[in-house]
Homo-oligomer: A and B are copies of this chain.
């Protein structure tokens, strides 16, 4: 099996699921002949034809709403947001209509809303967002955010098969930078299960998406330069959170650093900290600390973006403080 990129892994998942289930279809802006702004859906219209790959008007409310209606009828729509930032335009439809459909109306909404997310690419304030916190707060939605090519494929397949709406955040910095060899066969990664990206005993870093790679780099550096054994947990799924994995690593190392690229206040790190505090208080030898972006709309000049977003050195600094607690 050859290595493929994170982006290709997503395309492979879409392709396999479209081949497997005729109810799966794609809808979004410029996803057809053009293959999408990042080419994730490249070739799929040619392969599956126009009715199964729909180029929509610039109407995020409509495409999310239409996907919901189709999902009620047993279809399995996969919606592309050209940039995940524009999910904000469909916030009402996602949080009020889609998220509540099963509960208030016993109507399933088996659909995926996916799109390029995250920064480190000089995209500026509207092409770099990490809006996951606004959605893990909404009961009825599931949220995944893979860090590896293998998970990108396996989680996409799981998301398409899930009976509820899954928001699938794809990190655009990883699209072509991260590669992996896909496991043979029908490779499905279960939603709701974290992954131990690196084993360790001195302290734990809980993270997801692009900062998994920054954390692994930091862990390596902490090991090489300071002899610290750092465990790195890649959450993969943000809703529902894998409490067992979070508590297990806490009980193992007694020191937890939560790292995310999202802004600090109201980011997911707060929720994770609260859960750890509630459940593992007696196991903590130090406070749960957070490395996050500054609370700022993301500026696009390289020097500014680099300053606002978490970097490897930040993680190292924070981990050293935590280790020394």
A125 & B137 in contact (Cβ 8 Å cutoff): no
B89 & A85 in contact (Cβ 8 Å cutoff): no
Interface residue? A73 (CB, 8 A): no
Residues of chain A in range 283-321 having any CB-CB distance to chain B below 8 Å: 284, 286-290, 295-297, 299
Interface residue? A41 (CB, 8 A): no
Output the residue of A126, A270, A296, A297 with the most chain B CB within 10 A.
A270
Partner among B88, B134, B138, B270 whose Cβ is within 8 Å of the Cβ of A274: B270
Interface residue? A95 (CB, 8 A): yes
- Contact A269-B274, Cβ < 8 Å, known A125-B100, A139-B296, A297-B100: yes
A277 & B267 in contact (Cβ 8 Å cutoff): no
Set of chain B residues within 8 Å of A125, measured between Cβ atoms: 96, 100, 103-104
Interface residue? A22 (CB, 8 A): no
Interface residue? A265 (CB, 8 A): yes
Set of chain B residues within 8 Å of A21, measured between Cβ atoms: none
In the assembled complex, the CB of A14 is this many whole angstroms from the nearest CB of chain B, namely 26
In the assembled complex, the CB of A241 is this many whole angstroms from the nearest CB of chain B, namely 8
Set of chain B residues within 8 Å of A272, measured between Cβ atoms: 270
Interface residue? A266 (CB, 8 A): yes
Interface residue? A91 (CB, 8 A): yes
- Contact A137-B274, Cβ < 8 Å, known A297-B99, A297-B103: no
In the assembled complex, the CB of A60 is this many whole angstroms from the nearest CB of chain B, namely 8
Interface residue? A281 (CB, 8 A): yes
In the assembled complex, the CB of A263 is this many whole angstroms from the nearest CB of chain B, namely 6
Within the assembled complex, what's the spacing in Å between the Cα atoms of A270 and B92? 23
In the assembled complex, the CB of A142 is this many whole angstroms from the nearest CB of chain B, namely 12
Set of chain B residues within 8 Å of A54, measured between Cβ atoms: none
Within the assembled complex, what's the spacing in Å between the Cα atoms of A299 and B269? 29
Within the assembled complex, what's the spacing in Å between the Cα atoms of A271 and B272? 9
Give me the interface of A with B, judged by CB distance under 8 Å.
Answer: 85-86, 88-89, 91-92, 95-96, 99-100, 103-104, 125-126, 133-134, 136-140, 239, 241, 263, 265-274, 277-279, 281, 284, 286-290, 295-297, 299
